[in-house]
Structure 1
Amino acid sequence: MNSRKLAIMRLMDSRKKFTARELAERFDVSIRTIQRDLDALQTLGFPLYTEVGVNGGYQVLPNRILPPLQLTQNEALGLFMMIEYLQQVPDFPYGSMREHLAEQYFSTLPQDVQDLIVRMREHVTFVQHPGKHTETLTTEILNAAIDKREIEFTYHSRNGYKKIEAYPIGIYYDDGYWYMPARHRERVLLYRVDRMQQLKLLDSIDESIPSLQAWLKTSDDRKAVEVVLHFTEFGTRLAHSDVLFQSIQGNEWRGLVPPEEFPFTARKLLAYGPEVKVISPPALQQAVREMLEKSLNQYS
């Protein structure tokens, strides 16, 4: 495909409707040349249709095919690896297209590059938490967040099922699960997407809802206390791979934690077993003890 056809495709995406004369003047070629270019693009699958009349012209269908990528071999291999990785992330938004995209992209590559990818697949894999199927929810939540639209859903919390109305800020993927921060009444709460059911879009829109990136940059205004933890050598190695404790210095971790987060922090610490000790505050020590006692009582 020559550069003029690529430029025509980009122009159609920006203007939606145009006449052959307008294109001919823009690219300094004849109307017949432009018409041949448009015929060639339609043959390749670019979705055009023609409207006749004074206000007519060529129109791009809404579900249009985007311009092809012009990649080097290494870029093509890297892109295919990214597609392979995304196929392993459970419930990726719009994920129903991933397998189709991989097959379509693979089929357009030269045979020698296809052969290289087949060999490369034997030497790399991506292991992800399988999780509970929630692809429809992640897509709907993301669309609602973009539109700043309120949603209603049933949530399976520690105290059972309850119906919630909230404005989603976005979604993020962490340690095998999708999470949705959302404004419920006047507070922003965090929900695990795999615990959500029966999601419904509501009519309310609130333009004051921040984007996920803006929300992540806001500071936590809750009162916090200093937590001091001591890890063993092995515990330190584990902590370096933990988002919560990776700022560890030596074998000691210090950080500010709101008391409301002590139950969550205590549960995280239990996973380290004897590889970590809470030095302070006493309230977090007590939270860990209580969880340990509950675990031991099951075997008494």
Structure 2
Amino acid sequence: MNDRRIAIMGIIDARKKFTARELAERFEVSVRTIQRDLDYLQGIGVPLYTEVGPHGGYRVLPNRILPPLQLTRSEAIGLFLMLQVLEKVQDFPFQSIRAYLAEQYYAELPPDVQEAIDGMKKHILFYHQQPQQPSPFTMKLLEAAMEQKEIRFLYQSAEGAKQSTAYPLGIYYDNGFWYMPARRSHRVLLYRVDRIAQLEVLDNSDGSLPTLTEWMAAPDERDSVEVVLHFTDMGARLAGNESLFRSMKDNQWHGQVPPEELAFLSRKLLMYGPEVKVATPVQLQEAVVELLERSLKQYRPKSEVDGS
């Protein structure tokens, strides 16, 4: 496929309406040459259709069948590996077609590439932390975020089930869980998707919502306190997989944390035990000590706990 046809496919993928004459002027070729290009694209599976009349032109079906990929042997094996990884991500959007895609793609590969994939699968495994509860609403949440629609949902929090409405910004996957940042009453709150028990997409929409990537990149404007953590070598290794501590340097982590998040952080630090020490602030030190004392209390003799 030549560069011009690849560029035409870029225009098609943008779902823009176009005429053969516009393309001919853009690429400085004849209309007949463009028509041959369009005939070629139709031949490889791009479903073009023509609109007649003074404002007519070419369009493509929104849910069109895309042309096949032209991959090298290594690229084909790499793509199959990526499909295998996605299989391990529970409740991945569009998950229903992943197995079908892998099977269909594998079936169309040459025998030598199939043999290479079969051999590779014996030497590589992918593990993901799987949440105890499923997250069945990832697809609906993603669609609601893309359409900037409001949702009504029943959320299972530590205080019990509560119904809320919010505007989801998107979803992201981290350490085995799906998360949904959503704007509610001019604040963006973070929800665990597996804790959403019921979901309804409403008709209300808000065009002023930021995208998920914009929200992630924006600085946190809440009041915060400086937190300094000292990790041991073992603690640094354990915390290295935690997204929160990726900025750790020389076994030390510095960050700004809103006071209302300190309780959550103290529970997270408890899993590292003696492998981390809170340098500052004092309120976080006290929160960790309180949790440790409550944990130890479970193992003390009852007479000692009662003070008798």
User: TM-score under structure 2 normalisation?
Assistant: 0.81
**1:76-225 matched pairs, under 5 angstroms:** 76-131=76-131, 132-135=133-136, 137-225=137-225
1:256 aligned partner, one-letter code: Q
CA-CA distance at 1:73 after TM superposition: 1.5
Do the aligned partners of residues 79 and 185 (structure 1) sit closer, same or farther apart at CA in structure 2, a change above 3 Å counting?
Answer: same
2:146 aligned partner, one-letter code: I
Query: Percent identity between the aligned chains?
Result: 53
Contact 1:230 1:279 in 2 (8 A): yes
Do the aligned partners of residues 114 and 230 (structure 1) sit closer, same or farther apart at CA in structure 2, a change above 3 Å counting?
Answer: same
| Residues 98-149 of structure 1, C-alpha deviations (whole Å, 9 max, x = no match) | 11111111122211111111111111111012223224x1111111111111
CA-CA distance at 1:48 after TM superposition: 6.6
| Residues 146-186 of structure 1, C-alpha deviations (whole Å, 9 max, x = no match) | 11110110000010000010000111110000000000112
Contact 2:166 2:184 in 1 (8 A): yes
CA-CA distance at 1:210 after TM superposition: 0.2
Do the aligned partners of residues 264 and 15 (structure 1) sit closer, same or farther apart at CA in structure 2, a change above 3 Å counting?
Answer: closer
Distance 1:53 1:256 in 2: 61
RMSD of aligned C-alpha atoms?
Answer: 3.1
SS for the counterpart of 1:82 is: helix
Task: Give the count of matched residue pairs.
Answer: 292
1:281 aligned partner, one-letter code: P
Contact 1:10 1:67 in 2 (8 A): no
CA-CA distance at 1:86 after TM superposition: 0.9
Do the aligned partners of residues 52 and 175 (structure 1) sit closer, same or farther apart at CA in structure 2, a change above 3 Å counting?
Answer: same
Distance 2:7 2:127 in 1: 40
2:118 aligned partner, one-letter code: V
Residue 28 (structure 1) aligned to one of 15, 25, 33: 33
1:265 aligned partner, one-letter code: L
SS for the counterpart of 1:260 is: helix
Contact 2:130 2:177 in 1 (8 A): no
The unaligned stretches of length 5 or more in structure 2 are 25-29, 301-308
Distance 1:263 1:291 in 2: 10
CA-CA distance at 1:240 after TM superposition: 3.0
**1:277-296 matched pairs, under 5 angstroms:** 277-296=277-296
2:253 — aligned with what? 253
SS for the counterpart of 1:93 is: coil
SS for the counterpart of 1:155 is: strand
User: TM-score under structure 1 normalisation?
Assistant: 0.83
2:124 aligned partner, one-letter code: V
| Residues 210-245 of structure 1, C-alpha deviations (whole Å, 9 max, x = no match) | 001110111111222222222222112223333222
Distance 1:186 1:12 in 2: 38
1:226 — aligned with what? 226
CA-CA distance at 1:12 after TM superposition: 5.9
Distance 2:32 2:220 in 1: 54
Bigger Cα displacement from structure 2, 65-74 vs 143-152: 65-74
Contact 1:6 1:67 in 2 (8 A): no
Contact 1:12 1:18 in 2 (8 A): no
Do the aligned partners of residues 9 and 266 (structure 1) sit closer, same or farther apart at CA in structure 2, a change above 3 Å counting?
Answer: closer
1:26 aligned partner, one-letter code: V
SS for the counterpart of 1:244 is: helix
**1:42-57 matched pairs, under 5 angstroms:** none
SS for the counterpart of 2:178 is: strand
CA-CA distance at 1:57 after TM superposition: 8.9
The unaligned stretches of length 5 or more in structure 1 are none
SS for the counterpart of 2:220 is: coil
1:267 — aligned with what? 267
